[in-house]
Amino acid sequence: MRLKNTFIKTLREAPKDELAKNGALLTRAGYIHKEMAGVYDYLPLGLRVIENIKNIIREELNAIGCEEVLMSTLQNPEPWEKTGRFSDQEVDIWFKTKLASGGELGLAPTHEEPMVNMLKTYISSYKDLPLYVYQFQTKFRNELRAKSGVMRGREFLMKDLYSFHVSEADLDNFYEKVEDAYARIFDRLGIGDCTYKTFASGGIFSKYSHEYQTLLDVGEDTIYYNKDHSLVFNKEVFNDEVLAEFGAKREDFEETNAAETGNIFKLMFKYSEPLGLKFSDEENHMQTVYMGCYGMGVSRLMGVIAEKFADNKGLIWPKSVAPFQIYLVGIGEEGTKRAEEFYNEHADKILFDDRDVRPGEKFADSELMGIPYRVVISDKTLADGVAEVVERASGETSKISLDKLSDLL
RNA sequence: CUGGGUGUAGCACAGUUGGUAGCGCGCGACGUUUGGGACGUCGAGGUCGCAGGUUCAAGUCCUGUCACCCAGACCA
């Protein structure tokens, strides 16, 4: 991408309504634009980050046999009424609107009901199971208070996976596969070493749910972890009774803030029963489908990663999610010409700062945008037949011969 | 929802006892610059969140309303 050809522009100062670090930096660097509290537009760079995160999740889920769909945002109240969740008393974050013809609609805050309802069309026998279906979908939640940049929005992008099984054993088995997939996803996103599977309050059918909590100063959750992080509890379940159950002592735990970046949950029959999702078993007896659900906040992940790795100069993206691998700057006549040539060979992976501004401004923007490598080709470096490479994360500078530059991509 | 705060140019802000709006950044033109956000000259850009009201006159005073930020409460 050529900077000259894009409409985005960096800002020296963050808008005063962006106090959160992630929102301020993502806005200044031109990744996002705020429409209103908790509602953001994703600009070319931000969209690339979102797509990179999605692709990592997609690859890992597909690898364990999941199928991707895209369900509707507009919700027919009927399936929700069967579970009681269309009620504003039951679910207080609905956005609702009216049909021109008079009926009422909801904007999906999650998708258990429509997913179950849809699959009633396709699941009728044990031969149809198991099934693992997921999507990346925009969710709407009428939060009392949106805050923290893109980390708590009224409209946000979420990956939601639902699994369907003939038995609890099969659900348990798949649940473990998702745990493994989640571990790989967090690793690939660059936050594996600071993201923990956490015990949180459960629902009707299971004692605990599991959240994935990423350590973050400004995270909204409080968690407690022991020395080797083998046991991590959300504050909501951190009590003497639970500690006794796990044979743990309170004094071995440390308190810290974290952001919930994912969760996995055994639903059992919570939604399949009221919605009548059944199958015929091998003896031709009707059985209710066992279910699990597994969420991951895509736009929140972008905010968490932005927030976590930034320094006083700007964003620092892990290579796996960075919108581009190289921020390319050409200086001087010959340097600019050679930069053009290199750009033209790998245009899809390079952000080329071809603007007619002084180098200092380009350097500052490269740091603000957090692109992993800044490559400078100038008449000076060309005298040695090399380009200068600065790694954003470490600040380390090195010289690389021009024909080896593509190794960075 | 409770408490506190803020709405003036794309961004950040100033605007005195009411008298018809200003600075910096950014933007356009020209010139000088050209490896760490350069400099000079000229210039464009505003129904002062919105709606009422008071007044000869409202960014400024009054009433209402909306939005936004922070803390709390809330949060599969």
* CATH 3.30.930.10, chain A: domain bounds: 8-309
Give pLDDT tens digits for A349-402.
999 999 999 999 999 999 999 999 999 999 999 999 999 999 999 999 999 999
pLDDT on residue A157:
97
pLDDT on residue A207:
79
| CATH H-level, domain A326-408: superfamily | Anticodon-binding domain (3.40.50.800)
Share of chain A above pLDDT 70, in %: 99
From residues 360-389 of A, list those within 7 angstroms of strand B by Cβ. Answer: 360-361, 363-365, 367-368, 376, 378, 380-381, 388
Residue A204, pLDDT above cutoff 70: no
What are the angstrom distances between the C-alpha of A377 and each of A343, A346, A350, A355, A373?
11, 15, 14, 15, 13
CB proximity A12–strand B (7 Å threshold): yes
Work out the average pLDDT over A163-182.
Answer: 97
Give pLDDT tens digits for A371-380.
999 999 999 9
Work out the average pLDDT over A267-281.
Answer: 96
Given the structure tokens 């991590």, which residue do they identify?
A232
Residue A132, pLDDT above cutoff 90: yes
CB proximity A16–strand B (7 Å threshold): yes
Cα-based angle A134, A138, A141 (whole degrees, multiple of 5): 115
Which are the contacts of A379, defined by CB distance < 8 A and separation ≥ 6? A331, A332, A333, A334, A335
Query: Would you give the DSSP letter of residue A323?
Result: S
From residues 291-350 of A, list those within 7 angstroms of strand B by Cβ. Answer: 293, 295, 313, 331-332, 335
Give dist(CA A306, CA A300) in Å, integer: 10
* Dihedral angle computed from the Cα positions of residues A81, A86, A88 and A92, in that order, rounded to the nearest 10 degrees: 140
What are the angstrom distances between the C-alpha of A136 and each of A44, A60, A69, A101, A375?
18, 14, 8, 30, 34
Predicted ipTM?
0.95
What are the angstrom distances between the C-alpha of A182 and each of A156, A264, A390?
20, 9, 32
* Closest nt by CA–C1' to A236: B75
Where does A8-309 sit in CATH, by number?
3.30.930.10
Which are the contacts of A110, defined by CB distance < 8 A and separation ≥ 6? A139, A160, A295
pLDDT on residue A205:
61
- Count CA atoms within 13 Å of residue A297 on its CB side: 25
Give pLDDT tens digits for A293-339.
999 999 999 999 999 999 999 999 999 999 999 999 999 999 999 99
* CATH 3.40.50.800, chain A: domain bounds: 326-408
